[in-house]
Amino acid sequence: MDVAISLAEEGGFENVRQRDVAAHAGVALGTLYKSFRSKEDILSAALDRETENLERRMESRPARGENAIERLDSFFNIVTRGLVRKPKYARAVLRAMASGEPEVASHVAAYHGRMTGLIIAAMRGVGRLSYTDATSSPPTEAEQTVAALLQQIWFASLVGWSAGLHGQQEVVEQTLTAAKLLTHALSCDKLDRAMEKLEKKRA
Amino acid sequence: MDVAISLAEEGGFENVRQRDVAAHAGVALGTLYKSFRSKEDILSAALDRETENLERRMESRPARGENAIERLDSFFNIVTRGLVRKPKYARAVLRAMASGEPEVASHVAAYHGRMTGLIIAAMRGVGRLSYTDATSSPPTEAEQTVAALLQQIWFASLVGWSAGLHGQQEVVEQTLTAAKLLTHALSCDKLDRAMEKLEKKRA
DNA sequence: GTGGGGAGTGAAACGTGTTTCATTTTCCAC
DNA sequence: GTGGAAAATGAAACACGTTTCACTCCCCAC
């Protein structure tokens, strides 16, 4: 995965040649294919693993801010900058995650779970969600909904950035616009009714 | 594009073999590469063209419903079903759109523009946005923001569906959850302040 | 120590995306 | 009709993802 990441940073998705990955990693091609089922598999696994590092980082230095919006601002700035700093790698990873190959499904799911947790943690202003800690409560339905939506907007906006539709700034802006609207909606009275209906439909 | 679509319907992205596309289209491989710069180019162009058809369809039979939410419900059900009905084609097209290849950028942009227009039209309950018609007004900032966000959530949710994370129903559900929250936020008083801040920052 | 099995190896092979290029066909202005 | 340019052709070549397979190496239970 390290080799794949550095090759992707150099020249993007096409530059991650399986023969090169194997050679630089000091293994044979067949061995590489024993560990990873495809190129997309490597890159999506790499993203998942890097998100683990992000979890640790956010735990030691949580997003700071007076309120949820400010903390989300901080969080999405951090993660977006982290990706956009290595544009070719970011594009390669987005491509792998959106490839729809069945072997990446587990990585996509794992990544999604991690990011949702991180977003909720940022909204709450804690380092991470500790389910064992008596002082913290499990994510509410509303938190999960908002976190999932924000993540989707962030992801889609990154795909737009990757396609050249807009720049890094717009990625954060769009995500924050959504964050403001969604948290605002959550603070309104009428929301309860909407959510009730929603849950009724799901049941 | 027709050939590519039907090959993708049969066997997905990998089944769209350039040699086959050229052969079935009755042209030489070189000729195909004169019209399209890559496989992703064909598929993203095909999606753009199909969205043109969708525009016509929505114009003749606009999304119906009492209010914006109901019409968005109808609209996203239609478009999601339209895609999920051909799962392999849908996955192939998503993959092409998220590939980040520069040659697809224009198709991504065009598609994005069309979909935004369609979403706004659905919110308003009209067949299409006619800028020349004296009875209709240009999209407001708020409409464009909400439409873009809904589209992003829909797209990201489709990618999740493509990866096998969830089913067709969740795609529509997630989009509609967002639609409810966002339009709810727009109907609240405090919204104005948030939007003011937003525009200030953009200026 | 040894036998066996699992992991790793390396090289070849295959399919397919993409490029190249010399040749042929088409088509239009004259 | 004809000359010539533009487009199309077709075949070969190249690159790279992926698979296959016979062989080697390592390790460990016996």
Domain positions in chain A: 40-202
Mean pLDDT computed over B72-91: 97
Residue from A152, A161, A192 whose CB has the most chain B CBs within 10 Å, to mutate: A152
pLDDT of residue B31: 94
Residues of B within 8 A of A151 (CB-CB) are: 156
How far, in Å, is the CA of A35 from the C1' of nucleotide D27? 20
Mean pLDDT value across chain B? 90
Residues of A within 8 A of B151 (CB-CB) are: 156
CA closest to C20 C1', residue: B30
Sign of the C-alpha dihedral, residues B202, B129, B65, B89? negative
- For A60, counting Cβ atoms within 10 Å of its Cβ (0-12 exposed, 13-18 middle, 19+ buried), the class is exposed
* B40-202: in CATH 3.40.1800.10: no
pLDDT of residue B140: 86
Whether the predicted pLDDT of B134 surpasses 70? no
For strand D, is any atom closer than 7 Å to the CB of A192? no
**A198's tokens:** 């929603």
Closest CA to B163 of A88, A41, A202: A41
Whether the predicted pLDDT of B100 surpasses 70? yes
- For B142-151, letters b (16+ CB in 10 Å) and e give bbebbbbbbb
B85 — phi, psi (to 5°)?
-65, -30
CA B53 vs CA A185, B56, B59: distances in Å: 35, 5, 10
Percentage of residues of chain B with pLDDT beyond 90: 81
Task: Say which amino acid occupies A6.
Answer: S
How many Å apart are CA B124 and CA B116, to the nearest integer? 12
pTM of the model: 0.90
Average confidence (pLDDT) per 10 residues, chain A, 203 residues: 96 96 94 95 96 95 93 97 96 96 95 96 85 72 94 97 95 96 73 57 63
How many Å apart are CA A84 and CA A88, to the nearest integer? 8
pLDDT of residue A201: 64
Partner-chain contact A100 B108, CB within 8 Å: no
pLDDT tens per residue, range B17-68? 999 999 999 999 999 999 999 999 999 999 999 999 999 999 999 999 999 9
Chain B residue whose CA is closest to A176: B198
Task: Say which amino acid occupies A181.
Answer: L
Total beta-carbon pairs less than 8 A apart between chain A and chain B: 138
pLDDT of residue B191: 47
Residue from B181, B183, B188, B200 whose CB has the most chain A CBs within 10 Å, to mutate: B181
pLDDT of residue B85: 96
Partner-chain contact A91 B98, CB within 8 Å: no
Which nucleotides of strand C are protein-proximal, with an atom < 7 A from a CB? 7-12, 16-22
Mean pLDDT computed over B179-188: 82
Percentage of residues of chain B with pLDDT beyond 70: 89
Instruction: Dump the DSSP string for B36-103.
Output: -SSHHHHHHHHHHHHHHHHHHHHHHS----SSHHHHHHHHHHHHHHHHHTSHHHHHHHHHHHTS--GG
pLDDT of residue A130: 73
